Amino acid sequence: MLVSFTQFGFWQLRRHDQRQARDATTSERLAAVPVAIDEAAAAALADVAAGVPAADAFRGRRATATGTFEPDDEVLRRSMSRNGVPGYHVVTPLALADDAGRRLWVERGWVPQEYGAVPVVAAPPPGGVVVVEGWLRAPDVPPSGWVATLAPRDPPEGRLTTVAYVDLERLSAQVAGPAVPAVLLLAASEPATPAELPLPLTAPVLGPGPHLGYAIQWFAFTLVTLIGYPTLLRRVQRERGDASAATGSAAGG
């Protein structure tokens, strides 16, 4: 028990250090000047190739792109609550102004659950050529294996309108061009969104997380075990001695 509790405590301390390092990197990225989407995505993919988890490689990289939104092809990312209210994130492809006809999937913001049909008429994107700015996140990869039996699923075939995962491989079948290998979380656009909806997204949340508190708990369990278990053994031994003495006294009587 002592070895296990101590190892769990040090494991949580390592998680705490990793969280601090990750947040420092994300904070630095969020403070940087936005770069072209291709440059930002290439830097993230280079980190992935070097062994960095995709979520950490993409998180917080600021990027900008120019193109035209295609609301007829947008989807709703479901199960996205805001202040306890259920709803969706509106995810709309942006046809980039390049020769390859690529699409950048842009997570534009949040709408309440009653807006469950696409295109979301109450939350239109700006029309015409648009310059968007935001921060990246890694594309979703649906779980596989036995985990997939417990996780939400998207239909493997057919046109999707609501999704659990912004899976670029799956969504590319619904648009005319190949996908940029990143998802852009929209921070601003020029021209701006013409309606009150969707509500804007918030930047990645930074903070120490619960790991330091968990480490303290595991070390507290270690201390309780170190003090409490010998105390319990002494008490049991004393009770056995008292019981033996009482038995001997009864036999002598």
Please, which residues have CB within 8 angstroms of residue 75's CB and are 6 or more apart in sequence? 91, 118, 160, 161, 162, 163, 166, 171, 174
- How confident is the model over 237-245, as a mean pLDDT? 69
The better pLDDT of the pair 228, 87 is held by 87
Q: Which residue has the higher pLDDT, 17 or 177?
A: 177
Cα Rg, the chain, nearest whole Å: 27
Please count the other Cβ atoms lying within 10 Å of the Cβ belonging to residue 224. Answer: 12
Distance from C-alpha of 127 to C-alpha of 193, rounded to nearest angstrom? 9
Q: What is the model's pLDDT at position 93? A: 97
Q: Residue 165 above 70 pLDDT?
A: yes
pLDDT digit string (tens) for 108-156? 999 999 999 999 999 999 999 999 999 999 999 998 888 778 888 898 8
Are the CB atoms for 63 and 140 separated by under 8 Å? no
What average pLDDT does range 157-164 have in this prediction? 94
The confidence score (pLDDT) of residue 252 equals: 57
Answer yes or no: are the C-beta atoms of 192 and 115 closer than 8 Å: no
Number of C-beta neighbours around residue 238 at 10 A: 10
Segment 39-45 shows an average pLDDT of 97
pLDDT at position 130:
97
Q: Indicate whether 249 pLDDT > 80.
A: no
Q: Model confidence over 174-216: pLDDT tens digits? A: 998 899 999 999 999 999 999 999 999 987 776 676 767 777 7
Residue 247 clears pLDDT 90, i.e. is over it: no
pLDDT at position 55 is 92
Confidence grade of residue 243 (pLDDT, cut at 50, 70, 90)? low
Query: Could you read off the pLDDT of 80-109 as tens digits, one per residue?
Result: 999 999 999 999 999 998 888 899 999 999
Q: Which residue has the higher pLDDT, 167 or 252?
A: 167
> What pLDDT sits at residue 46?
97
Q: How far apart are CA 126 and CA 134, in angstroms?
A: 15
Strands (E), the chain: 35-36, 62-69, 75-77, 87-96, 103-112, 129-137, 162-163, 179-190
* pLDDT at position 53: 93
Q: Is the pLDDT of residue 253 over 60?
A: no
The mean pLDDT value of the chain amounts to: 88
In the prediction, which pLDDT does 212 show?
74
How high is the pLDDT of residue 99?
Answer: 82
Contact criterion met (CB below 8 Å) for 123 and 195: yes
Assigned token pair, 188: 């601003």
- What is the pLDDT, as a whole number, of residue 85? 95
* Chain-centre distance for alpha carbon 51: 18
Instruction: Please state, as a whole number, how many other Cβ atoms lie within 10 Å of the Cβ of residue 58.
Output: 26
Please tell me the distance from the alpha carbon of residue 165 to that of residue 39, in angstroms, as a whole number.
24
> What pLDDT, on a 0 to 100 scale, did the predictor assign at position 117?
94
